[in-house]
Each structure stands twice: as C-alpha cells, then as structure tokens.
Amino acid sequence: MATPAEASGLAARAPKIVLVTGASGYIGGRLLRALLDRGERVRAMARRPDELQARLPPGAEVVSGDVLDASSLGALEGVDTAYYLIHAMASRHDFEREERTGAENFARAATAAGVRRIVYLGGLGSEGLSRHLASRQDVGRILRESGVPTLEFRASIILGSGSLSFELVRSLVERLPLLIVPRWASKRTQPIAIEDVVEYLVAALDVRLDSSETVEIGGRDRVSYLDLMREYAQQRSLRRRFVTVPVLTPWLSSRWLGLVTPVYARVGRKLIDSLRNETVVTSPLAATMFPGIRPRGMTDAMSRALANEDRELAETRWSDAISSMGSTQPWGGTAAGSRIVDTRAATVRKSPAEAFRAIERIGGESGWYYGDWLWQTRGAFDLLFGGAGMRRGRRDPSRMRRGDAVDFWRVDEFEPGRMVRLRAEMKVPGRAWLQFEVTGEGTDSVIRQTAVFEPHGLAGLLYWYALYPVHWLVFNGMLRGIAASSGPTLAAERSGEGER
C-alpha cells in the first residue's frame, strides 16, 4: 500500500480531466487535437456523441450532453478545466435566448461540480454591438459571474483553412472578377490565425487565474475586410476590381453571400451584422499574461491558410460543426407519421470495396452522377430560402467520415466499404435521408440506393409528389451513374415507392 506521501505524489501526477464543449466545431476540433498531443486527458461533450466519436483521434473520451438540457451535464463531474466553445449562430429559433440559457445551465453545473476553471472564446467589440456580438459577450458575463474563475478570450476574424471567414473571402475573390463591396467591408478588424487562437486556448491551462479575466486577442495587423480580400487576391495572383457602394443592407448582403459563397443566409446575416462593428484589441493584457505568444500578421496568416487550403484535407472546417445547420433529427420516422421510400438496386461486376469507392466520392466536385444541373438548381432555391445550398462541398473528395458535410447533406451514418446514410440539411417540408448499401462477395456486388422522405403535413406530401417526375429521373439516373462508375452492370431492379 502506498504511503500518504506516495499517494499524494501519484495524485499530483494523475492527469486532470479537461472538458471540451463544441468539439464538433472548427475551433473545438483543432483544440481537442492540440490538447491530446500535449498529453492531456480530454473529455469531449456532444449532443450526438456517437457521431462525434467517429471523427476524433484515439484517446478522446466522448460523452453525451446538451447545454440546453441542464439534467444532461453530468460530463462536468471530475473536470478540472472546461472549455466553453458553443454558439447558436445557426439556430432556427431565438439564438440569443438559447445562448443565454445554455450558458446559465453550464455555469450552474460547473459550479456544482467544482470545476476549477472555465475557458471561453467570445468576440471582440465595444460599442453599438450587433445582436450576435452582444450575445457572445453576454455569455461571457454569465460564465464570469458563475463563481468559477473564467478566462474569456475575445477574438475578431479567425483566419485558417476551412474557417468561416476565410471561406467567405476565398469564395468571393475566386468567383467574382468585379466585387461590389458594401460599407461594412471598410470597418477595422484584427484578424488572428487559427494556430494562434489554439495556442492561446492551450496556454490557458497553465496561466495563473485567481479571478475571472477578459483577454482580447488579435493578430499584429489592424485591417478591413476589404484589405483581406485584396491580400487574398494578391497572394493568388488574381486581378480583381473592387467597387464600394454606400448602401447594401445586411438582409441583401446575406442573400448575396448565400448565392456566391458557402455561407448560407442565416449565418451570413449574423456574420455581416457583426462586421459593421470595429473589432480591434484595445487592452494589452494578452501580452502581459501570455508573453511567449507572438501572433502572426495578416499576410502570414493568409499565406498559411492558403497553403493548407491547397491540400486535399483541411483538418477541420466550419461546416463540420454538428450545429452548422441548426438542430438535427435522427434516422427514422415518428410515432404519428409515415415515410415515403424509394429503393433501387443494381448488380455490378466489381468487389464490394471497389463498388463502394464510387459511392464514397459522391457530391462536391465529383457531382451526383446524374443531372448535376438539377442538383445545382435545387441548391440555388435552397439558398434563396436560407438553406445551406450546394456551396459547402466536401471536406475530402474521396473519403467520408461520420458527421461530414456533403453539399446540402450530412453523413449521418458511415460503415467503410458497406454503407453510407446522408441526412438532408436543405430546406424541405419534412425530413429526408439518402442511403447507399453495398453487399456481395468476390467480383459481384449489389448496390442498393434508398431515398426516404418523412413529410410534414400536406405541404410535405405536395412537395414530394409535385417533384415526383424529377425524383424519378434523378434517383434512377444516379444509381445508373454509380453502377457505371463501379463497373459493368449485370442487372438492375426497383422495389418501388411505398409508405412505411
């Protein structure tokens, strides 16, 4: 048996639990990996832990929890430091109320669990704040007043491959030779590289914190959004003209962004509302508390983001977040509703693994194997009504993992070499899934494609049957295209449409 001194030494050496909320998001995903690389004992909390688990590296514990459900926050038990990286920008409801409720629930649970420290990432800004920035700072206030020492970082635009701000700049400058720039693009901001944000967040574990503090962080340069677009064009050697217009409302700007960028209108409007505020660092506290961190300038941050963007696989993307299209629904029907099912199958002369590779490449730049212009038209209508559209593309062109965004779908379930189920995140009067399964042995395989739609009321039924001819063409053509890409087709069958 260990002596008291030995037991004390063992306790001191035992790794403390670090909780990361928002681990499915852009910042949380990168922070979690950095903590694991440092040797920390990391626990990730998610509303859908099974979906997040498939996306995380070995060594991360994933538990269920939802800050909007106070009874589900048992994940805080035994936690030393808790990172709060949750926001509700994509909420279809009152995002300010949801953010306030979530923060209050989390603060109470952290206090009750004896958490030593909370680390929160909010937004810069001081006067005339947009609703989004005001809500982010209100969350920080709630956490600071919880009684648990809270370190609130406030940052402006975050630059990194796959970040929302970088995706916006990249898409605008790449696609438009003439850019009409509204007045909000001239506001000063202090962009910070994603690597520097993660470095600050990791360093927060070790800094002395006797009471709550608010620390403003930013890169070396104070620039405008227009400067960012010009810098991107210069680094990509693109000749672009910028025309500034005096009036372009947030509503019109968000619709415009939705048509030419991956930013769907609901998030786009909140983002633009925030860009009308100056978001620059006004306090020297970051340099005092973290003297070893020297943030990059805009040019270096943009260069690094471009270098990473050129790779096939960005480590995390803004669209990876489970919340990037608001609330999600599980596979299956409801107790009171039925599902319309369209299922088809084709037999191909390929092994199951070879046949599945064609399915795994679906979406993004590879397209949908049939009628891509129809998919693009559907995506354009989706954007007009505030949906995700087809702009999100794919994280990787040839590999999938659970939770990935695939245009206006999300990978709901994934079994390598056997099955993938996509959950619809487009605007639709109901719930929809698209599933592909491959079975077989040796050189013959059966590819089964199943579309499932659960209509909501009469509008849902009218939607399905009004588009029935289009669905027939698309589903039939898509299966033929997948089969042709997989190998010679031996037989095809259709089980028909029915209700379950």
Residue 249 has pLDDT above 70, yes or no: no
Q: What is the pLDDT of residues 333-349, one digit of tens each?
A: 333 345 788 888 899 98
pLDDT tens digits, 20-65:
998 888 899 899 989 999 999 999 998 888 777 767 777 789 999 9
pLDDT band at residue 221 using 50, 70 and 90 as cut-offs: very high
> For the residues 393-420, what does the mean pLDDT come to?
88
pLDDT greater than 70 at residue 9: no
- Gyration radius of the chain over CA positions: 24
pLDDT at residue 253 in the model: 62
pLDDT of residue 268: 54
Which of residues 66 and 180 earns the better pLDDT score? 66
Segment 147-157 shows an average pLDDT of 94
For residue 164, is pLDDT > 90?
no
- The whole-number pLDDT of residue 453 equals 86
**Higher pLDDT among residues 270 and 5, named by residue:** 270
pLDDT exceeds 70 at position 153: yes
pLDDT above 80 for 393: yes
Task: Please give the mean pLDDT across all residues of the chain.
Answer: 81
Mean pLDDT, residues 359-374: 91
Cα→Cα distances 227→89, 185, 189, 200, 242, Å: 25, 9, 10, 25, 11
Q: Is 453 helix (H, G, I), strand (E, B) or coil?
A: strand
Which residues make beta-bridge pairs with 496?
A: 343
pLDDT confidence bin for 223, thresholds 50/70/90 = very high
- What is each CA distance from 84 to 104, 144, 452, in whole angstroms? 12, 12, 36
More confident site: 305 or 487: 305
Residue 161 pLDDT level (bands cut at 50, 70, 90) = confident
Phi, psi at residue 80, to the nearest 5°?
A: -90, -55
Give the global pTM. Answer: 0.68
* pLDDT above 90 (res 298): yes
Q: Look up residue 156 and give its DSSP letter.
A: -
Say which residue, 336 or 66, is predicted with more confidence.
66
* Pick from 143-152, 193-202, 268-277: least confident: 268-277
Query: What are the angstrom distances between the C-alpha of 214 and each of 121, 194, 278, 280?
Result: 10, 19, 18, 14
Cα–Cα distances (Å) from 190 to 72, 109, 272, 275, 298, in that order, read 37, 34, 16, 11, 8
pLDDT at residue 197 is higher than 90:
yes
Tell me, what's the pLDDT at 4? Answer: 43
- The answer, yes or no, to whether residue 271 has pLDDT greater than 60, is yes
Answer yes or no: is pLDDT of 149 > 50: yes
Is a pLDDT exceeding 60 seen at residue 143?
yes
Lowest mean pLDDT of 9-18, 27-36, 229-238, name the range: 9-18
Mean pLDDT, residues 440-449 taken together: 86
Q: Which domains does the chain have, with CATH numbers?
A: 11-312 (3.40.50.720), 340-499 (3.30.530.20)
Residue type, 244: T
Of 157, 125, 123, residue with least CA distance to 140 = 123
Does the structure show a pLDDT above 90 at 139? yes
What's the burial of 34, exposed, middle or buried (CB within 10 Å: 0-12/13-18/19+)?
A: middle
**pLDDT at 126 exceeding the cut of 50:** yes
With a pLDDT cut of 90, the percent of the chain lying above it is 38
pLDDT in tens, 318-336: 455 544 444 444 444 333 3
Maximum distance among all Cα pairs of the chain, rounded to whole angstroms: 78
Residues forming beta bridges with residue 150, ordered by sequence position: 118
Listed range (118-132, 167-181, 352-366, 392-406) with the worst mean pLDDT = 167-181
